[in-house]
């Protein structure tokens, strides 16, 4: 998952300036390195490359930003981490249901293909 500063601003409900400051601090404090966590990509609506930040940067900013959305993010992220530590795994129930549906379709395919 990769987001721009504008997208993080929308996600966490803070200004682009605040998001930019947190990103700068993430790199200055060497919590993360820019290499592999920052990519510039050309997009159709822009005349210059746009910076996209990795999931690691998004998570770091989420733990730094002070907003209601930041609080909601930290609660969610902490819950996922806690389940992983206590249970050894964390599930995405919606994704598991989707995978179950795909598995049932794949199981039916050989019989349906043979009858054609």
pTM of the model: 0.71
Dihedral angle over CA of 12, 16, 19, 25, nearest 10: 180
Reported as type and span, the H/E element at residue 63 is helix 55-64
Per-residue pLDDT of 34-55, as tens digits, reads 999 999 999 888 889 999 999 9
The pLDDT of residue 116 is: 58
**Mean pLDDT computed over every residue of the chain:** 88
pLDDT at site 115: 62
pLDDT in tens, 77-108: 888 888 888 888 767 777 778 888 888 777 87
Domain residue ranges in the chain = 5-66
């Amino acid at each position: 998952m990769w987001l721009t500063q504008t997208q993080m601003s929308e996600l966490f409900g803070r200004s682009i300036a605040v998001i930019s400051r947190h990103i700068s601090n993430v790199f200055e404090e060497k919590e993360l390195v820019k290499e592999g966590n920052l990519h510039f990509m050309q997009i159709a609506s822009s005349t210059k490359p746009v910076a996209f930040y990795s999931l690691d940067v998004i998570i770091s900013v989420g733990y730094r930003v002070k907003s209601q959305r930041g609080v909601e993010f930290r609660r969610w992220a902490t819950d996922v981490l806690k389940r992983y530590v206590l249970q050894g795994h964390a599930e995405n129930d919606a994704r598991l249901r989707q995978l179950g549906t795909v598995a049932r379709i794949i199981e039916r395919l050989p019989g349906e293909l043979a009858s054609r």
